[in-house]
Chains A and B, each alone.
Chain A
Amino acid sequence: MTVAGARATASPPPATRRRARGPLRALPVMLRVHFAEAIAWRAEFLIWVLAYTLPLIMLALWSAVAREAPVGRFGEREFRAYFLVTLVFRLLAASWVVWDMSFQIRQGTIAARLLRPVHPLIQFAAQQAAAIPLRLALATPIAAAAIAWVGAAAISHDPLHLLSLPILLAGAWAMTFLVMAIIGSLSFFWESALGIFDLWLGFYFLFSGYLMPLELLPAPLRAVGEWLPFRYMLSFPVEVTLGLVDRRELLQGLAIQWGWTAVLTIGAIATWNAGVRRYSAFGG
């Protein structure tokens, strides 16, 4: 008996074609296997998701503030709708790649990914994206409960708004993943890259609309926030869902969000490549 069978008889496709098609062909299996992995972590996953209680705390706080009189455009009901939609979108667009990447780099187990013929960022992205169905399963009842509580009238009825939501959510997820990939790749350079992520998280809470609707920020902060990516990672899809932006602003926001996604993609690839060069130069 032979150890591992005869060589494959089919002639391999040209290297260039194979390079382009390889990751795409592997993607369905990568997603399926990593979905199985997410299922295996279900208890841990559930606890982690339940830790996303901040929007509910903010809901209670801001609802109390708005009980006497509305704050800008936000009355009690609007705050309820805002923070419940924020919670749902935060659940759907979250990622944990920064911790995974940082851990694997420090442990040296990243080598296994480097030696596979699919770019490690694609491997990480597949692993993270595979958990989205599980997140959806958790977010759907919350969304249903939210609609039942605040009423469907709180949600935009504009078909363009509703049709754009999957694209906006994909963009928000991609931006979150890419930012985490950039910071995770910094672990190739510094052991304290996770500290940088904590710093990032502080800005994210303030400028993404996680703590309060961005339009309630003081004008100078709002002006700064306009130039930053945070809004498009959370607040903008929420604003679109609630009909807080018109069609022109929606299209403009979509363009900005995907512009940021392109910039962050370039940034993630560049940081990863520089990190791997350093890792390969200084050892793992």
Chain B
Amino acid sequence: MVGVVSSSPLISVRGLVKHYRVPIRPPGLGAAMKALFRRNYKVVRAVDGIELQIAAGERVGFLGPNGAGKTTTLKMMAGLLYPTAGEVRVAGFNPAERQPDFLRKIMFVAGQKQQLLWDLPPAETFELNRAIYGVTRESYRRVLDELIAVLELEPLLEKPTRQLSLGERMKCELAAALIHRPTVLFLDEPTIGLDVTMQAALRSFIRRYNEEHGATVLLTSHYMVDVASLASRVLVIDHGRLTFDGLLADLVRRVHPYRRLTLRLGEPPARGALEALGARVVSLSDGVAVLEVGEESLKPLVAQALETLPVVDLTVEEAPLEDVISELFTRRPGRPDDGERRERDGDRGGGDRSGVLEPATVETRSEDRA
């Protein structure tokens, strides 16, 4: 459950566009000489017309393959990048202006970038941030004591940052970014490179911060478990476009509207007997059969299986999230399975903007060098 969600949008994004002009040059000496006089550019549409609204207190996860535009979108919301077109409002501010009052409301933590002073213990960065954000000593002490308790920072405070492990550094990065009690948290791959225990600890902390303070959390991650456990609302971005905005469960149902039915059987059945049930046989070995079945035909199929097969045990699950996401990002329009899948879906779950992923829009042009 998300902490405290307000109905009015805290973040409003309209027609957001970010285009980059990137120089391109084929390999070889000739191309290098040519590039001295005439340089070719391509315009990469990193973000291409995103519209969304996020209420205060929501936890929102951005999903998308590498280069989809997730981080670019997040950076525009945090004010690190200016949009090429469109409008972003966060807590009533235009982030691109980076007004001090706006910066005091937000935090941005990227798993691969750090703000901790490398040669000093993390406590010094905390104190520096206290002064820079104008946090009173009393409030700082209270916030820090609680961060120390929840993130178990006590043994780390006096060690130079350079001697901390990646996970320890990440915990301290989070603490440093929370000293001023931000109400909007931008987290770009916050668990990258961490072991599973540390990932779980950070996720639990972020969830708790959201629930106790009603902070809004926007998160990108390649770890599906991050998104699954933290974000009830998921935004799928691909080729700079928002292709899905809704609940994770809906995304799973839309992309992969089948359940996995695992049957443990008293005696190995004939494949034909399983296929006769009308389900796709995913695997069959050692008396365990895994079937894929549409949601609407699940009940009759289970009844039929119990009646006709020597079933010892039976489980029904959603498809693994990793498989769903992998399927989502490998689907492309025009591929035979895509059309077939949409037809089989019967466009169930319509009403969202999910489904077709469009190809990258890249313009190439050349211009004389000034």
Contact = CB atoms under 8 A, between A and B. Distances in A.
A116 interface: yes
B119 A111 contact: no
Interface string A251-284: 0000000000000000000000000010011111
B136 interface: yes
A30 B131 contact: yes
Contacts of A123: 132
Contacts of B149: 1
A3 B149 CA distance: 8
B370 to A, nearest CB: 14
B82 A109 contact: no
A3 B147 contact: yes
Contacts of B113: 107-109, 111-112
B81 A280 contact: yes
B324 to A, nearest CB: 30
Interface residues of A, number: 40
Interface in A28-43: 28-30, 33, 36-37, 40-41
Contacts of A19: 100
B119 A6 contact: no
Contact of B106 (A8, A10, A37, A115): A115
B267 to A, nearest CB: 55
B269 interface: no
Contacts of A277: 82
A114 B205 CA distance: 26
A4 interface: yes
| Size category, B interface | 35 or more
Contacts, number: 130
Given A22-B100, A115-B103, A281-B82, A5 B150 contact: no
A26 B114 CA distance: 21
Given A25-B131, A33-B128, A112 B115 contact: yes
Among B78, B79, B96, B100, max chain A CB count under 10 A is at B100
B119 A26 contact: no
Given A33-B120, A33-B128, 9 more contacts: A3-B146, A3-B208, A6-B142, A109-B113, A109-B115, A111-B113, A115-B78, A282-B20, A283-B46
Interface of B: 20-21, 46, 72, 75, 78-82, 84, 96, 98, 100-101, 103-104, 106-108, 110, 113-115, 117, 119-120, 124-125, 127-136, 138-139, 142-143, 145-147, 149-150, 160, 178, 181, 205, 208-209, 212-213
Top 8 A-B pairs ranked by shortest CB distance?
A29-B131, A117-B100, A5-B142, A112-B115, A40-B119, A26-B131, A117-B103, A8-B139
Interface of A: 1-8, 10, 15, 18-19, 22, 25-26, 28-30, 33, 36-37, 40-41, 107-109, 111-112, 114-118, 123, 277, 280-284
